[in-house]
Amino acid sequence: MCQNKKIMILSSFFSLRQSYLVLALIYGVIGTLSFSPYNFWPAALISLFGLQTLLLNKHFIQTSAIGFIWGIGLFFSGINWIYISIANFGRMPTAINIFIVMLLISYLSFYPMLFAILMNCFWPYPSLCRFSLAAPALWHITEFSRSYILTGFPWLQFGYSQIDGPLKGLAPLAGVEAITFLLMIITGLFAHAFYNRALKSAMAAITIIFICQWSIKLRWYQSIPEHSINIAIIQGNIPQSIKWDTKQLIHTLNIYTSYTHRWMDKVSIIIWPESAITDLESNQQPFLHALDHELRAHGSALVTGIIDSDIEHNNCRNYNSLIVLGDTESYSYHNQNRYQKNHLVPFGEFMPQEKLLRYLAPFFNFPMSSFSHGNYLQRPLRIAGYNFTCSICYEIILGEQIRENLHPDTNCLLTISNDAWFGRSIGPWQHFQMARMRALELGRPLLCATNNGISAVINANGNVEKMIPPFTRQVLNSKVTFTTGQTPYSKFGVRPVWLCTLINLIIANIGRRK
């Protein structure tokens, strides 16, 4: 009888523990629904609320497990599309591909686990200090760490879920990090209300949401109608499997030039996507000079992605670059009116410990994966008399880097990309959602030109003005109105969020000791 009772106690204990882990996994998966293409922004509140409530009254091992499993749910459901590029282009066995993806997901899940451990170690009791002060501060610190350690991977930050939600008005004030910070405060207040039956905490959370909803009406920029131009974005839709095939180069150039000829005289600026010209710039001098001459004769400018090769001290450096043709100044191979990508993607564009890794496995032998870093700060690209702050692919998700490269005379943001690596997955949609946030934060319109989609024009309020469907070969023609002015975020960046983090930790620490 006694033995049976012990078995029942053990059985109920493991059953209870597993239920917490299942809930943690579910809450993590729900978080993915808040991001594009699902765009169900309340899912961010549900996911973070679930995490905060599950962590209450748990010992160290339970806390660690809940934080880690919640992260597995979020990142497995949210970034599993990385497997597509590894499996399709890495040429490694399936088991190795799965291992690499799971290793990345496990690494990213370490950060919510760290948040959970710190919360329960220093603020174990369900107080208002824990939920409204300590939680947002610790979350900001762990998310910041995830964004910078080992080159950083700031994907699936919950602030992005609010690009069409009630908290979007906070972005021009203090950036996407401030939205994430406030989400943690709101969900913390709901968790406090749930656990302590504190109606006032729930009302405070709802009040914050309504105030932020009102702030969307604020405008931190001024439109300049007299500075409106017609643009054409050419979405070539070249399959990634043949993009770098040298036999396809002429065919690819013919696609882009044929569409370009149709829009000369009709638009001021024509935009080709990242590495639209799949060859070294030095090899394409006759083509580039001829196209430059033709464009200038028709009064149009063209900006395109290309591989810039620079020989210095007998050392050849390749840069993922943007160059301008057909502008008032004739094209020259040594023209400084160009942009070179700074933040390269590990393994895709540069190799950490290159000699060792290339020797170990063909997985690390992606085409054009030996780029050099451009300068962190670069002047705006001058196109058709206007200034464009540029980024290539992954860089558009780096809010602080884009902000620091924004000049007071920047008229527009421009990003080019090639998301064909990730197939017909949710990855490109998440990328596009983050790009929209940059326009909202900085109060500038944004032009997105991609090889296979999503190509679009986004206004200074982060809304999509016009877009063309992915995986189609089309031209997006639109009239773009430039803006001027500075948002608070463009001036101060995330400093206000760090100040709030410091103040919160000080007050929460004082409250913990009482």
Residue 493: left (phi > 0), alpha (psi -120 to 50), or beta? left
Per-residue tens of pLDDT for the chain, all 514 residues: 455 555 554 454 445 557 889 999 999 999 999 999 999 999 999 999 999 999 998 999 999 999 999 999 999 999 999 998 888 776 778 898 899 999 999 999 999 999 999 999 999 999 999 999 999 999 999 999 999 998 889 999 999 999 999 999 999 999 999 999 999 999 999 999 999 999 999 999 999 999 999 988 888 899 998 889 999 999 999 988 888 888 999 999 999 999 999 999 899 999 999 999 999 999 999 999 999 999 999 999 999 999 998 766 567 788 999 999 998 888 999 889 999 999 888 766 666 655 555 555 455 555 555 788 899 999 999 999 999 999 999 999 999 999 999 999 999 999 999 988 888 999 999 999 999 999 999 999 999 999 998 999 999 999 999 999 999 999 999 999 999 999 999 999 999 999 999 999 999 998 776 6
Q: Say which amino acid occupies 267.
A: V
The pLDDT, as a whole number, for residue 10 is 43
Question: What class, spelled out in words, does domain 233-486 have in CATH?
Answer: alpha beta
pTM for this prediction: 0.91
- 5 HSE (CA, 13 A, CB side): 2
Active site residue 349: no
The C-alpha atoms of residue 406 and residue 439 are separated, in whole angstroms, by 11
The pLDDT, as a whole number, for residue 356 is 54
Alpha-helical regions (H) of 306-389: 354-360
> What DSSP string describes 186-231?
HHHHHHHHHHHT-HHHHHHHHHHHHHHHHHTT---SEEEEEEEEEE
Of the residues 177, 274, 349, 441, which is catalytic?
274
Separate counts of helices (H) and strands (E) for the chain = 18, 13
The pLDDT, as a whole number, for residue 13 is 44
Active site residue 274: yes
E strand or H helix at 146: helix 135-148
The C-alpha atoms of residue 256 and residue 235 are separated, in whole angstroms, by 9
The pLDDT, as a whole number, for residue 103 is 95
Q: By three-state DSSP, how is residue 162 classified?
A: helix
- 28 HSE (CA, 13 A, CB side): 26
Active site residue 412: no
Query: CA-CA distances (angstroms) from residue 91 to 41, 95, 270, 351, 364?
Result: 37, 12, 36, 17, 9
Q: Residue 345 has what DSSP assignment?
A: P
Residue 316 contacts by C-beta under 8 Å, 6 or more apart in sequence?
Answer: 309, 310
Structure tokens that stand for 110 in this block: 């370490």
User: 389: which strand partners?
Assistant: 413
Domain(s) of CATH 3.60.110.10: residues in the chain: 233-486
Nearest to 388 by CA among 302, 318, 451, 298: 302
State yes or no: cis peptide before 229, omega within 30 of 0. no
Length of the chain, please?
514
The pLDDT, as a whole number, for residue 25 is 97
The pLDDT, as a whole number, for residue 314 is 60
E strand or H helix at 386: strand 386-392
Of the residues 58, 168, 243, 341, which is catalytic?
341
Residue 386 burial (CB count, 10 A): 19
The pLDDT, as a whole number, for residue 347 is 66
The C-alpha atoms of residue 66 and residue 86 are separated, in whole angstroms, by 29
The pLDDT, as a whole number, for residue 63 is 96
Of the residues 129, 212, 390, 393, which is catalytic?
393
